[in-house]
Amino acid sequence: MILLDGISKSYGGQLVLRPTTLAFEARRVAVLIGPSGCGKSTLLRTIVGLTAPDSGRVMIGAQPMTAASAPRLRHAMGYVIQEGGLFPHLTVEGNVTLLARFLGRAPGWIASRLAELAELVRLPAALMGRHPRELSGGQRQRAGIMRALMLDPPLLLLDEPLGALDPITRYGLQDELKRIFSGLGKTVILVTHDLGEAAHFGEDIVLMREGRVVQRGTIAALAREPAEPFVSEFLRAHRAALPGGEPANSER
């Protein structure tokens, strides 16, 4: 389980993440959603250990995330960002296997794992020798997912992984990611601003606004019993993602 216990974060005197307590269950998919600047990416980066909270603590299982423990704990995490975050000077194979080689994994294990992941994300083996600039956006994203899964981490974190893709590619990769999530049984935390995407991936939706959690639950529960007017406004703006096309309490 992942526990955020009263974490907060400010930049330049501006509070971007208000004191927040959240728990994420093992082997479930949770989605952080909200408008730009609501704090969802800051929250995810705090879990990864890339951002240190000003207050509170992050627990990865029984282990606290600290500056000293972060390098070790990150080996149990896969982290995916837009465009995959690939190193441009490395090939797909070089990007995917970088950490495994750094940790001294056996060449045979690395080769076997690379082939397994290429099949999992449906990236042709012929592309393993190409550099990121020679790939399409969807192919770069698949390579980024491979890299995140290389060490078979129990925790997978994704920050707007499909945000930069065209609609057709994005739609196809949504189905691919859902298939991967359901097949691997990992703890997944995904950030998006798109409610349709959130609905596609999971029922544990965490809606944020201005650095705080507004409401958590299924989309149906958020529509049926909104915690505040913003919830209804947000759902109404994404009405196409909702059953029947409108929030239950929307005014016509």
Residue-wise pLDDT tens digits, 137-179 = 889 999 999 999 999 999 999 998 887 677 777 878 888 888 8
Q: What local confidence, expressed as pLDDT, does residue 2 receive?
A: 94
128: number of CA atoms within 13 Å, CB side? 19
Q: What local confidence, expressed as pLDDT, does residue 251 receive?
A: 42
- Let me know: does 191 contact 113? Beta carbons within 8 Å: no
Domains of the chain: 2-241 (3.40.50.300)
Q: What is the pLDDT of residues 169-209, one digit of tens each?
A: 787 888 888 888 888 889 999 999 888 888 888 779 999 99
For residues 17 and 1, what is the distance between their CA atoms, to the nearest angstrom?
21
**DSSP per residue over 81-110, as a string?**
-GGGG--TTS-HHHHHHHHHHHTT--HHHH
Q: What local confidence, expressed as pLDDT, does residue 242 receive?
A: 53
Q: What local confidence, expressed as pLDDT, does residue 240 receive?
A: 57
Model confidence pTM above 0.75: yes
Q: In angstroms, what CA-CA distances link 188 with 67, 149, 201?
A: 23, 12, 10
CA geometry: angle 91, 111, 130, nearest 5 deg: 20
Q: What local confidence, expressed as pLDDT, does residue 97 receive?
A: 97
For residues 82 and 145, what is the distance between their CA atoms, to the nearest angstrom?
11
